[in-house]
Structure 1
Amino acid sequence: MTGSTQIPYLLRATQGEVLPRPPVWMMRQAGRYMKVYRDLREKYPSFRDRSEKVDLAVEISLQPFRAFQPDGVILFSDILTPLPGLGIPFDIVESKGPIIDPPIRTHEQIKQLHPLEPEESLPFVREILQTLRQEVGNQAAVLGFVGAPWTLAAYAIEGKSSKDYAIMKRMAFSEPAILHEFLGILADSIATYVRYQIDSGAQVVQMFDSWAGQLSPQDYEVFALPYQQRVVRQVKETHPDTPLILYINGSAGLLERMAQSGVDIVSVDWTVDMAEARRRLGPNVGVQGNIDPCVLFGSQPFIRDRILDTIRKAGDRGHILNLGHGILASTPEENAAFYFETAKQADKLLAVPA
């Protein structure tokens, strides 16, 4: 392995290298299931303080790295973080989630938005990513992340999380021109933001279109996919070698279309079998995932079996082990530790006959 230690293990997977085990991290790995995070949250109750003050965000990003040594360390942030830079203020209320007031509902409001200037509105993101790169070195890849246009628009238009996205879909189906204008502004700003994260030190960037799974395939092709493609195209023009990952919650019906976005890796949720996902995506698209987060409430033998089953089905090339969604806040911390330990020993465990 001489020489390869200079490249973080996760990046080797994104480059298509055959590896003895997949790299491993988990969505929401910095957060409420960890006692050190809960203690820090008691001291600093504002989410925006925790995610936008450099020292706090760095500390929180590094908590799981120190505890579990994952192969990826992701920026502690929120997909809504860039919105104030466009002229859309938001707050995050504990146990309620994001609140955008007033929500974006009119063409007049959209006309008042301005392009994102991340150096002005998001200087803390650069500092956080630069510090994480220094702290982590080559022991892990530093990941950035952004929200995709449809999902950011959904939050901005609904004003909060939603179960049915009726307000957003009403706009999509009755005033599509207004929505398309908004999605275009968001796509160009997100592309700028991705480039800014890469220039600040992010080695991989994951785009969350969390709520695009609420769309029918035909509507996904109109309102989500073209704007994902617009982001990816702009980023690849300037940063062709930085791997991009796309995650959608509830994406089993959209997998092939997700690959059309142009990303390098599709993050698969747990509603599709990993072997089936591989077949549907083809050999040229990497995969990430896809353990059900609730598996981490099972016994250790159960957790181990599910991890090894996923790894077998994904194969030894172009797979990053992850959960199919974020880790749940009530997950026992020792089970999270066991998840990482098992993944790190997967090559030895797979060599033992079942």
Structure 2
Amino acid sequence: MTQATEIPYLLRALRGEVLERPPVWMMRQAGRYMKVYRDLRDKYPNFRDRSENADLAIEISLQPWRAFKPDGVIMFSDILTPLPGLGIPFEIPESKGPIINSPIRTQQQIDKLHPFDPKVSLPFIETILQTLRQEVGNQSTVLGFVGGPWTLAAYAIEGKSSKNYAIIKSMAFTEPSILHKFLSKIADAITSYIRYQIDCGAQVVQLFDSWAGQLTPRDYEVFALPYQQQVVSQVKQTHPNTPLILYISGSAGILERMVKSRVDMISIDWTVDMAEARQRLGSNVKVQGNIDPVVLFGSKKFIRDRIFDTVRKAGKVGHILNLGHGILVGTPEDNVRFFFETAKQIN
């Protein structure tokens, strides 16, 4: 077992150490595929009751750690959690996704947004992260997470999940000045939220700008990248030693541009081969990923082969083994256990 004085294994990868095996955790590892989570969900059916009640969020965050001992324990939360603190309330009906009843569409709405103070609007985050640090010690690394500026803006403007992002893209193409002002406000709020998470105990923070992959490369450089850079540069001014990871879904066409965000690690989805990603990004860029989540529905031999293939292509420096997206509902828990056991036996 890792001694309390040692640097957690996942942080060693982010420092660029040569390791015998990559650290391993899974996006969305706390949640719907685990029976213990579903039992708790049945008792507390409102998602926000689970994610914003510190005791419940701590329990859910620790469920996969107790079961599988991943190298990373990520706080159970939602990317929209900070929005009410800005004056953008939302609901999450079970199995329907988030709903924002008064989506942001005008400059007047942007002008009326509240100053964001996470200490005031999100006091439960401090309890969650401090307790997770105490519970796992240095046996694992505690990760916080936030939504990226484009993705949070897209939710706030669309009012719900979207397949074509027509409303925010129409704003981008017809009223760009309004959207840029909103994106900058969102980026400042995300900065405050990341700083708060770090101060509360997060050792790494992952930015999920998932929907930025729906932009053309040209539009990514105009409407997503500058605000990722705004967040990263501002966080690094005050917390230069806390690693930041960037994940974008469908990012194969913008991988090289993601590096310009100046995060410490790029999380890669499964639509690009890991060897190709390494070649395109350069050997000095640290990477996370990128197993297709559906691989976990395969045979144990198939899972093992895919793990070994990804790890071989990624190399022994600057790689965290992860999925290329969140773990899926219905994934067999025994296969998840096998995934972690296999990853930890690599040498």
Residue of structure 1 in register with 2:215 after alignment: 215
Unmatched 5+ stretches in structure 1: 348-354
Could you tell me how far apart the structure 1 residues matched to 2:2 and 2:95 are? Answer: 48
Check whether the contact 1:115–1:185 (CA below 8 A) recurs between aligned residues: no
Could you tell me how far apart the structure 1 residues matched to 2:322 and 2:231 are? Answer: 24
Residue of structure 2 in register with 1:124 after alignment: 124
- CA drift of 1:115 comes to 2.4
Matched to 1:223, the amino acid is F
Residue of structure 2 in register with 1:187 after alignment: 187
Partner SS, residue 131 of structure 1 = helix
Partner SS, residue 93 of structure 1 = coil
Residue of structure 1 in register with 2:205 after alignment: 205
Could you tell me how far apart the structure 2 residues matched to 1:237 and 1:275 are? Answer: 33
Between 1:18-27 and 1:332-341, the stretch displaced more is 332-341
Check whether the contact 1:247–1:267 (CA below 8 A) recurs between aligned residues: yes
Residue of structure 2 in register with 1:8 after alignment: 8
Matched to 1:156, the amino acid is A
Check whether the contact 2:33–2:328 (CA below 8 A) recurs between aligned residues: yes
Partner SS, residue 207 of structure 1 = strand
- CA drift of 1:94 comes to 1.2
Matched to 2:216, the amino acid is S
- CA drift of 1:3 comes to 7.5
**Does residue 91 of the first structure (1) align with residue 88 of the second (2)?**
no
What aligned pairs does 1:1-354 form with structure 2 within 5 A after superposition?
6-347=6-347
- CA drift of 1:169 comes to 0.4
Matched to 1:315, the amino acid is G
- CA drift of 1:114 comes to 1.9
Partner SS, residue 340 of structure 2 = helix
Could you tell me how far apart the structure 1 residues matched to 2:48 and 2:257 are? Answer: 34
Residue of structure 2 in register with 1:350 after alignment: none
Could you tell me how far apart the structure 2 residues matched to 1:143 and 1:89 are? Answer: 25
Could you tell me how far apart the structure 2 residues matched to 1:219 and 1:31 are? Answer: 33
Partner SS, residue 73 of structure 1 = strand
Partner SS, residue 278 of structure 1 = helix
Partner SS, residue 64 of structure 1 = helix
Could you tell me how far apart the structure 1 residues matched to 2:346 and 2:78 are? Answer: 31
Could you tell me how far apart the structure 2 residues matched to 1:48 and 1:3 are? Answer: 35
CA deviations over 1:59-90 (Å, ceiling 9, x no partner): 00000000000000000000000000000000
Could you tell me how far apart the structure 1 residues matched to 2:87 and 2:107 are? Answer: 14
Could you tell me how far apart the structure 2 residues matched to 1:283 and 1:201 are? Answer: 30
Check whether the contact 2:213–2:250 (CA below 8 A) recurs between aligned residues: yes
Could you tell me how far apart the structure 1 residues matched to 2:94 and 2:259 are? Answer: 35
- CA drift of 1:284 comes to 2.2
- CA drift of 1:2 comes to 9.2
Partner SS, residue 145 of structure 2 = strand
CA deviations over 1:250-298 (Å, ceiling 9, x no partner): 0000100001001000000000000111111112221000000000010
Runs of 4+ in 1 over 6 A off after TM superposition: 1-4
Check whether the contact 2:2–2:139 (CA below 8 A) recurs between aligned residues: no
Check whether the contact 2:2–2:138 (CA below 8 A) recurs between aligned residues: no
Check whether the contact 1:232–1:261 (CA below 8 A) recurs between aligned residues: yes
Does the C-alpha gap of structure 1 residues 4 and 253 become closer, same or farther in structure 2, counting only changes over 3 Å? farther
Could you tell me how far apart the structure 1 residues matched to 2:323 and 2:3 are? Answer: 30
Unmatched 5+ stretches in structure 2: none
TM-score by length of 1: 0.97
TM-score by length of 2: 0.99
State percent identity of aligned pairs: 77
CA deviations over 1:275-331 (Å, ceiling 9, x no partner): 111111112221000000000010000000000000000000000000000000111
Matched to 1:222, the amino acid is V
Q: What is the number of equivalent residue pairs in this alignment?
A: 347
Could you tell me how far apart the structure 2 residues matched to 1:236 and 1:63 are? Answer: 31
Matched to 1:140, the amino acid is S
Does the C-alpha gap of structure 1 residues 221 and 17 become closer, same or farther in structure 2, counting only changes over 3 Å? same
The RMSD of aligned alpha carbons is 1.1
Could you tell me how far apart the structure 2 residues matched to 1:198 and 1:297 are? Answer: 35
Partner SS, residue 99 of structure 1 = coil
